[in-house]
Amino acid sequence: MRITAPIFRFCILVGIPFPSLVSASEPVPQVKPLSLQDHTSFLEGVDLPRAKPHVSAVNYSNEKATSALSPTCEIPRAIFSQVLPFDGERDGDAACGIADPIELTGFQQEGSKARFTAPVTLSCSFAKVLTDWLIDDVLPAAGDLFDSPVSVLSSGPGYQCRRRNNQPDGKLSEHALGEAIDISGFRLDDGSQISIEKDWGTDTVKGRFLSAIHASACKRFSTVLGPDADPNHKSHYHLDTGCHGKTCTYLICQ
Ligand SMILES: [Zn+2]
């Protein structure tokens, strides 16, 4: 796998070994092209995603789950339902789980609405950061560049109980805590599509839009991985709020 200059600079900066995703001994994973509707095939580094577990606000049962919802999640501009907290035992890894989970279906601002292709399971705190980015950065950028507003976001499922390299003792993915999302594209109200895989890096309005929102994401999330990061991200942005460095002040923006 190619070791990118940004990763090299980051590792030098924080004084850590190269992360596992750039280990020279690992085979380059096969990356399947994603359609905008594909909701289950996102890869982070060389993670191998497991199936998304079912989460229900009505029927979900877990002996370790509390009997009540976590404290009320308030995200005024988001459209979501709150679900019961859950740990990772049902998914075979006790480290997984979300204490304040929600199912985020979209967001709204001044009469306009946009939705995800399918509900996304996230922690309330991460959903707040995501909603702020979408409404305060992504929508205005689209408004500046396109004649039609964003109506659909294509994304991964958010929560996925998995570890990097798919190894039992591998580093826990931020997806396993509901603190990450993968976004592959957008659909505008007029039906036109903006695809990270097809439009990233192009000298087009769509390309400029994708560059602008990648830059704005780096001001809100601690990890932003896009097509310039490595081949596994050629089709989507991975966004998370994970901790990097001893004081959690380092950012990865690629
Ligand atoms: Zn991801």
35-60 pLDDT tens trace: 333 333 344 433 333 333 334 333 33
Range 217-226 average pLDDT: 96
> Cα of 179 to ligand 1 centre, how many Å?
10
Q: What integer pLDDT is reported at residue 63 of this predicted model?
A: 33
Say how many Å lie between the CA of residue 42 and the centre of ligand 1. 7
- Whether pLDDT at 153 is above 60: yes
Res 35: pLDDT? 33
The rounded Å distance from CA 181 to ligand 1 centre is: 6
Q: How far is the CA of 147 from the centre of ligand 1 (A)?
A: 30
Q: Ligand 1 center to residue 69 CA distance, Å?
A: 26
pLDDT attached to residue 227:
96
What pLDDT is stored for residue 1 in this prediction? 38
Could you tell me which residue, 147 or 245, shows the higher pLDDT?
147
**Mean pLDDT rounded to a whole number for the chain:** 77
In order of 4, 212, 241, the CA distances from 16 in angstroms are 15, 30, 19
What is the model's pLDDT at position 247? Answer: 84
Asked if pLDDT for residue 160 goes beyond 90, the answer is yes
Q: Which residue has the higher pLDDT, 213 or 164?
A: 213
Give buried/exposed letters for 131-158 (b at 16+ CB in 10 A, else e).
Answer: bebbbebbbebbeeebeeebbbbbbbbb
pTM for the full model? 0.74
Task: Return the closest-CA partner of residue 142 out of 187, 78, 77.
Answer: 187
- Cα of 86 to ligand 1 centre, how many Å? 20
Residue 70: predicted pLDDT: 64
| Pairing status of strand 252-253 against strand 223-225 | parallel
Confidence check: pLDDT of 156 > 70: yes
How many whole angstroms from 88 Cα to the centroid of ligand 1? 18
Average pLDDT of span 152-163: 94
Residue 248 has pLDDT above 50, yes or no: yes
Dist. CA 51–CA 33, nearest whole Å:
18
Which pLDDT does position 241 carry in this prediction? 94
Band of pLDDT at residue 97, cut at 50, 70 and 90 = very high
Share of the chain above pLDDT 70, in %: 71
pLDDT higher at 165 or 38:
165
pLDDT at 194: 98
Give 63 Cα–ligand 1 centroid separation in angstroms.
29
User: Near ion ligand 1, which residues have CB within 5 Å?
Assistant: 44, 182, 238
The rounded Å distance from CA 180 to ligand 1 centre is 6
